Amino acid sequence: MRYDVKVQLCAIALLALGPIGIAVALGDSMVVDPGVTPTWPQLFSMPVNVMRFTLLLLAGAATAFGIIRSRRLLSAAVKDAVGRASLSRFLPAEIAPRVAGDIGLRRGRRQRAVVFVDIRDSTGMAEGMDPERLSQFFTAFRTRILGCVRKHRGFVGKFIGDGALMLFGVPDEGGDAARALAFAHDLVRIVQAWNATRELYHPVRIGIGIHIGEVFCGIVGDDERMEFTALGDAVNVASRLERATKRYGEVILASGAVVEGSSERGAWRVIASEPLAGRTEPMTIFAPAASITPGTDEVISAAFRSQF
């Protein structure tokens, strides 16, 4: 990066014009013996010196070309490294390199399984915690989500307050619906085990909505702040299913599209076929066939103590 091509080209010109300048400046004084051919014409005698002169120019041109090429390659490598580093800030390490190298993964519409997770009554829980404990709580919650979603080869598209948006099918496609459903069941078990190790006024309760459909995925932002975002009707449906868990008293709700696409139809039961909030077309809504206890608001311990 420190080589200046202009300086290199100037050096080539000086090397080429130097002998000519010397010859012109010395003129006939270069003739030592009248009986001997003047020296300066020998500088350009055919064919040896012409060949030397040509090789000198070619060597200089090749050096300049090499410098230009090296600078471009180095600049591209630096730009690529910076881009990968930026992606690694919000994508798992195993996914970021593949997204960075595939424009189709960076931006485009594809079938994805979308999962929304949200903590119920997080406001009530926050009332019993000071800011430091609240921060520790959400950090612990997000850590569990991250570990679980990576286990099932998905990733967190975005944390939204006390909730999170997960995507399955970026970049690996195939079995997205099954992995999304398995993630939901696994996360419920993780939260239940977490509750068993903690004592607090309110156990952690979550709601999960799952859908599969066409999603626009894209990297937006500038060099200072970038994020991988997901937009589309499938995202909205998953969000509405998560909200509907409160009304139906279920922990997990999934659309017919994701259940039918998972080859696990027998593990789910239909609980409704109606339009979701804000929509007109009815949708078949599924819940796990095996009952999942959503948790209660009873006091587990009179003395509040959290172990994160």
* pLDDT at 192 (0 to 100): 92
Is residue 190 domain-shared with residue 280, that is, in the same domain?
yes
Is 203 within the bounds of a domain? Answer: yes
Is residue 160 domain-shared with residue 73, that is, in the same domain?
no
Task: Give me the domain span that covers residue 40.
Answer: 5-88
Is 184 within the bounds of a domain? Answer: yes
Is residue 70 domain-shared with residue 119, that is, in the same domain?
no
Is 127 within the bounds of a domain? Answer: yes
pLDDT, one tens digit per residue, over 148-160 is: 999 998 888 888 8
List, in sequence order, every residue forming a beta bridge with 275; answer none if it has no partner.
Answer: 282
* pLDDT at 146 (0 to 100): 92
Instruction: Please give the residue that has the higher pLDDT: either 163 or 78.
Output: 163
Which of these three, 88, 115, 148, is where a domain ends?
Answer: 88
* pLDDT at 18 (0 to 100): 57
User: Is it the case that residue 306 has pLDDT exceeding 50?
Assistant: no
Is 295 within the bounds of a domain? Answer: no
Give me the CATH number covering residue 209. 3.30.70.1230
Q: Where do runs of H (alpha helix) occur along the chain?
A: 5-26, 39-42, 48-88, 96-100, 103-106, 122-127, 131-151, 176-196, 233-248, 256-260
**3 state SS of 201:** coil
Backbone angles phi, psi at 129, to 5 degrees: -125, 145
pLDDT, one tens digit per residue, over 182-214 is: 999 999 999 999 988 876 667 889 999 999 998
Is residue 124 domain-shared with residue 32, that is, in the same domain?
no
Is residue 211 domain-shared with residue 109, that is, in the same domain?
yes
* pLDDT band, very low/low/confident/very high, at 48 (cuts 50, 70, 90): low
Which of these three, 60, 88, 116, is where a domain ends?
Answer: 88
**3 state SS of 38:** coil
Domain count along the chain: 2
* pLDDT band, very low/low/confident/very high, at 297 (cuts 50, 70, 90): very low
Q: Is the pTM of this model over 0.85?
A: no
Is residue 72 domain-shared with residue 201, that is, in the same domain?
no
Is 15 within the bounds of a domain? Answer: yes
Least confident of 20-34, 171-185, 190-204: 20-34
